[in-house]
Amino acid sequence: MTATSTLRTGHIGLNVTDIERSLAFYRDVIGYEVLGEGKEEGRRFAFLGQDGTLALTLWQQADAAFAPRNAGLHHLAIEVDTIDQVRTHESALRAYGVEFAYEGVVPHGEGAASGGIFFHDPDGTRLEIYAASGAGAGSGAGASEQAPVPDAPTCGFF
């Protein structure tokens, strides 16, 4: 490996129990485009992304919902450009009936400018939609003054 190589997360793969339900959620509520699908019985999957770039693959391979106490994925964080975009997603998720871990947009930590919303997908996988700035105290209308989890990262405890 050379000193110039850069590692980046390419895409995330999630096992789901019901591909149709999860596809509807990530496509219609979160806003990903379907880039490709496998519809063969026993080999169902969907490639999702934006502007032709793969971000998430759903695999219908799970027999049970997400289990937060098992090793593996803790949560999936999706970044958007602005807090207003976070709020737009929050409104769409509320209309869909999603319950949130915290009320409204919250900072990632006490005094942090970054923050977002925290919720679960149909299989219980923990999700976050966040922006790098605009969530902390003094960040504008509707900004939370305090992090919901004192002295710890908000995203780690939902």
26-58 pLDDT, tens digit per residue, is 999 999 999 999 999 999 999 999 999 999 999
Contacts of 10 (CB under 8 A, 6+ apart): 54
Exposure of 63 in the CB half-sphere (CA atoms within 13 A): 0
Token output for 83: 């807090």
| pLDDT over 70, % of the chain | 92
Is 138 a residue whose pLDDT tops 70?
no
pLDDT of residue 141 exceeding 60, the answer is: no
Beta carbons of 114 and 129 less than 8 angstroms apart: no
Q: Write a three-state SS string for the chain.
A: CCCCCCCCCCCEEEEECCHHHHHHHHHHHHCCEEEEEECCCCCCEEEEEECCEEEEEEEECCCCCCCCCCCCCCCEEEECCCHHHHHHHHHHHHHHCCCECCCCCEECCCCCCCEEEEEECCCCCEEEEEECCCCCCCCCCCCCCCCCCCCCCHHHCC
Predicted TM-score of the model (pTM):
0.89
Compute the C-alpha angle 25/149/70, nearest 5°.
55
Mean confidence (pLDDT) of the chain: 91
